[in-house]
Amino acid sequence: MLNVRRVLGVDPGLTRCGLGAVEGRPGSPLSLVAVGVVRTPADDDIGARLVAVETGIERWLDEVRPDAVAVERVFAQHNVRTVMGTAQAAAVAIVCAARRGLPVALHTPSEVKAAITGSGTADKKQVGAMVTRLLRLDAMPKPADAADALALAICHVWRGAAQSRLAEALARAGAATTAQRKAGS
């Protein structure tokens, strides 16, 4: 099957880091590969928690063997402590993927919601319901972090190919412009 991609979605968090892998291609039904969370105790120190997140993500990368990793882009929140932990967990996921040479894409929550539900302002229940429907599951993945990770992976399967083609086209255009400038000098 042409362009089948296996994508690991990561909904970063220190207490619960959602992980979900799907396989498919744009325009075709998607398949669930795996879904779950890496949990860390809130009373552990930050170093131990980040190591636990890394260990969990590395295990998932070994088992799932994705072609790409999609991570939720961290955005400003009112609670600075929460956003810092989320950003740190996201960085761990990016480093784990980069260490293996896997492409990493960052998707905003509203981008993921729009891709999955058609509305960038959908709530968690709507996203979970659509993930359940799209993957033809018997029940909504729990906790919500797991469903969100699947939504990230689905979004990337659907949008990642187009984004990659656009990035390649922009790179070619930039190279052509540079070559023209050098030839004209």
| Measured CA distances, 138 to 32, 65, 98, 141, 148 (Å) | 12, 25, 34, 9, 17
The tokens 């879904």 sit on which residue?
A: 35
Candidate list 23, 54, 145, 148, residue with the active-site label: 145
Mean pLDDT to the nearest integer, 155-179 = 65
Give the domains, in start order, of the chain with CATH numbers.
5-184 (3.30.420.10)
The answer to whether residues 20 and 134 touch, using CB atoms and an 8 Å cutoff, is no
Higher pLDDT, 28 or 155: 155
What pLDDT score was predicted for residue 81?
Answer: 72
Query: Tell me: the pLDDT tens digits for 98-114?
Result: 999 999 999 999 999 99
Catalytic site includes residue 11: yes
Query: Tell me: the pLDDT tens digits for 51-101?
Result: 999 999 999 999 999 999 999 998 766 777 778 889 999 999 999 999 999
Q: Which residues contact 96 (CB under 8 A, 6 or more apart)?
A: 54, 57, 58, 61, 69
Candidate list 11, 23, 54, 148, residue with the active-site label: 11
Which of 126, 137, 140, 135 lies closest to 154, judged by CA?
Answer: 135
pLDDT band at 1 (very low <50, low <70, confident <90, very high): very low
- In whole angstroms, give the CA distance from residue 141 to residue 144: 7
What pLDDT score was predicted for residue 35?
Answer: 98
What pLDDT score was predicted for residue 27?
Answer: 84
Query: Tell me: the pLDDT tens digits for 6-56?
Result: 999 999 999 999 999 999 999 889 999 999 999 999 999 999 999 999 999
Answer yes or no: is pLDDT of 162 > 70: no
Catalytic site includes residue 72: yes
Candidate list 43, 72, 111, 123, residue with the active-site label: 72
Which of 13, 7, 56 lies closest to 32, judged by CA?
Answer: 7
Residue 56 gets the label, from left (phi > 0), alpha (psi -120 to 50) or beta, of: alpha
State the chain's mean pLDDT as an integer.
88
Answer yes or no: is pLDDT of 178 > 90: no
